[in-house]
Amino acid sequence: MDTALPSIFVSHGSPMIALEPGDAGRFMQRLGPAIDAAFGRPKAILAISAHTAARAPLLLGAARHEAVYDFGDFDPRLNLMRYDAPGSPELARAAAALLQAAQLPVHLLDQGGLDHGIWTALRYIYPGADIPVVPLAFVPSESPAQQFALGAALAPLAAEGVLVLGSGSITHNLRRVFAGGRRPAGGDLQPEIPESAAFRAWMQARSAARDWDALFDYRARAPHAIDMHPTDEHLLPWYVAAGAGGRATAALRLHASVTLGSLGMDAYAFGAPAARLAEQLEPAAALR
């Protein structure tokens, strides 16, 4: 079996997904076993999260990582959760070499830590915390096209059994989400607002059409783009993961859901192996 992996983007939404998995968390619980069944267990994970950013790409190459509680005013039970995972200095060096070969600036630190965009997702995808993780900090001021180029430089890792995993949110306007308070009730039961539905549908349609030019210019072309992403750090990891998968194949939406009315929780897979993963998860998913 060809073990080259697709790259993946998942929506973590907010830290509360660790306590309230909803549809997206339940999907992620199925995702790890599906990856293992289709391709074999990843040797390592290169993680790009909305919450680890820097002025130049930066790899955290520590031998060990712990969960970072980079949030406030959420349920205090979150601060008791742990995700202590091995790191991979070897993978960090290999990723740095790929970025340097692509003439991209990169820094490498022997420091560790998994922000909540990484550990809340991985607690569902690989709860055993036994796969080495290397966080890659991206530059949030760079364009979607530049994020795609960052991911494209990392594409060779897929053939080495490394899972490139982006984590953010397909829509992310916390002013709308928390308009009713910091802990609004209803979660997945709240009806989706039209603006979120229109944006998510546009992303899925342009992805299926491989319309990369439109996707790179989403802030001008997508409906309600600024409303759904007042700042776009939660969507930019999508482009890094997409770049790792390449332009040749369509991005496949593996999961679609919304929580709190406007927080899109969609997940995507990229690259030629994405179709196999979609079939492993659900035969109908490959037709979306």
What φ, ψ does residue 167 adopt, rounded to 5°?
-135, 125
Structural domains in the chain (count): 1
Summarize pLDDT for 183-218 with one digit per residue, the tens.
Answer: 555 567 789 999 999 999 999 999 999 999 999 999
**DSSP SS3 for 216:** helix
Q: What is the pLDDT of residue 187?
A: 64
- Does residue 112 fall inside a structural domain? yes
Q: Percent of the chain at pLDDT above 90?
A: 89
Q: What is the pLDDT of residue 283?
A: 56
Whether residue 57 has pLDDT greater than 60: yes
- Does residue 276 fall inside a structural domain? yes
- Does residue 1 fall inside a structural domain? no
More confident residue, 72 or 280: 280
Q: Mean of the per-residue pLDDT values for the chain? A: 94
Query: For residue 177, what is the domain's CATH number?
Result: 3.40.830.10
- Does residue 2 fall inside a structural domain? no
Q: Which domain holds residue 267?
A: 7-287
Summarize pLDDT for 243-278 with one digit per residue, the tens.
Answer: 999 999 999 999 999 999 999 999 999 999 999 999
CA atoms within 13 A on the CB side of 213: 0
- Does residue 94 fall inside a structural domain? yes
Measuring CA to CA, which residue among 223, 271, 219 is closest to residue 245? 271
Q: What is the pLDDT of residue 93?
A: 98
Q: What is the pLDDT of residue 288?
A: 44
Distance separating alpha carbons of residues 104 and 249, to the nearest angstrom: 24
Distance separating alpha carbons of residues 185 and 182, to the nearest angstrom: 10
